Chains A and B, each alone.
Chain A
Amino acid sequence: MDEMTDNSDPALRQQQPDSVAEKTALESSDVALVEGARGGDEAAFEELFNRHRRRVALIAGRFFRQREQIEEVVQESFTKAYFALNDFSNTQENSFAAWLARIAFNTCYDELRRLKRRPESTLSDVSEEEFASLSRHLSTEEAGRDVESALVSRDLATKLLSRLGPEDRLVLVMLDAEGLSVAEIAKLTGWSVPKVKVRAHRARAHLRRSLKRFL
């Protein structure tokens, strides 16, 4: 996936350079900083951190709600990136931003798996009020089409998604929130394209089953 070309997110779009020349300059500058950091230049790595921290935080924010969790993912991602700098090779389809995004997604996945072993909230944690709201919402014909106005609370959304496995959640967030294609997800996760498709299908079925309980 080349994150620089992802226009689905306004926050990401703001960070993107306008012209190709500007992008090339930025990328070459990133490469120079990576070279510096490889040589032990702490300031170069700090500059890389300042450039990309928002981007990594946005990725983490897709999966985690609490600021502490997002900060944890940011720290872990940059620590992993620091020790993997020698593995980074700058090619046209592999910019530093994309490489770092891959590390960030993998860190989120690891964190999701860790949390799955100690689930914080389950479906039983859905309050009576949330349950009633969702049931009402599902029973109307307008459900789905006018869902944004129905205000599905983020709390409830997070609780429902916490029922899914880490792999399911990763795929659904990448597909629906990041707007990535199956091929891009396969490239980011290192999975095969069929595996991503199967996983997405299963994840949707799982989510449907969870929602049917409210009917």
Chain B
Amino acid sequence: MIGKKRDRGLDERLDLLGREIVRASAANETEAAAAADAPFLYTRVHSRINAEREQREEKERWFTMLAVAWRAVPTMALVAVFAVAMFLFTNFGTQSPAGAGYDTLLTSDAEVESVVFADNRTLSNDEVLATILSDDEQEAAR
């Protein structure tokens, strides 16, 4: 009983001392006034505001870019799906038997070749001889 009373008394004393300690620690008016009157304090606040604004704008710019990219993703995906679909659809519509494409290629090349060579045919030896002879006959007749 006496021990409890003594403890309570001690706790009360410690609480009182604790309050005084808090007050003693918080009594700092002189330093606070000096800090409030510090030179260029507003200039520092102003520059901090500007720095913070720039930081926020930079962050905002990144967010805007991300938002644009995020919005572009479904669009690009849609375009890709459409392109694949178109490619598959075109292939299915014009598919021919195996080897047909190769034959067609060869035939068409041969035809082109023959046309080209038909236009540039060289003279035979007989034709050259006949031309020379006919030129000589004409000179003799003169």
Contacts and interface: CB of A to CB of B under 8 A. Distances in A.
Name, among B15, B22, B31, B56, the residue most crowded by chain A CB atoms within 10 Å (CB to CB). B22
Contacts of A57: 32-33, 35-36
Contacts of B142: none
Contact of A152 (B20, B26, B28, B44): B20
A19 interface: no
Give the secondary structure class of A's interface.
Answer: helix
Contacts of A178: 26
Contacts of B24: 152-154, 157
Interface of B: 11-29, 31-36, 38, 41-42, 44-46, 48-49, 52, 56
B132 to A, nearest CB: 104
Interface of A: 11, 42, 46, 49-50, 53-54, 56-58, 60-67, 70-71, 74-76, 78-79, 82-83, 137-138, 143-145, 147-148, 152-154, 156-158, 160-161, 172-173, 176-178, 204, 207-208, 211-212
A75 B21 contact: no
A167 to B, nearest CB: 14
Contacts of B26: 61-63, 173, 176-178
A173 B22 contact: yes
A157 B42 contact: no
In order of increasing CB-CB distance, the 5 nearest A-B pairs are A61-B32, A144-B16, A177-B26, A70-B35, A57-B36
B17 A66 contact: no
Contacts of B19: 176
8 contacts: A64-B28, A70-B31, A71-B35, A79-B48, A83-B56, A147-B17, A157-B25, A177-B25
Nearest to B36: A57
Given A11-B29, A67-B34, A70-B32, A208 B11 contact: yes
Given A62-B28, A79-B45, A145-B16, A160 B21 contact: yes
A153 B25 CA distance: 8
Given A11-B29, A161-B22, A61 B35 contact: yes
Contacts of A64: 28
B58 to A, nearest CB: 15
Contacts of A74: 35-36, 41, 45
Nearest to B12: A144
B14 to A, nearest CB: 4
B41 A53 contact: yes
A34 to B, nearest CB: 15
A67 B38 contact: yes
B37 to A, nearest CB: 8
Nearest to A141: B13
A65 B17 contact: no
A50 B37 CA distance: 10
A114 B117 CA distance: 92
Nearest to B25: A157
Question: Quick one: which of B16, B25, B49 has the most chain A CB within 10 A?
Answer: B25
B25 to A, nearest CB: 4
Given A62-B26, A67-B38, A75 B45 contact: yes
Contacts of A65: 25, 28, 31
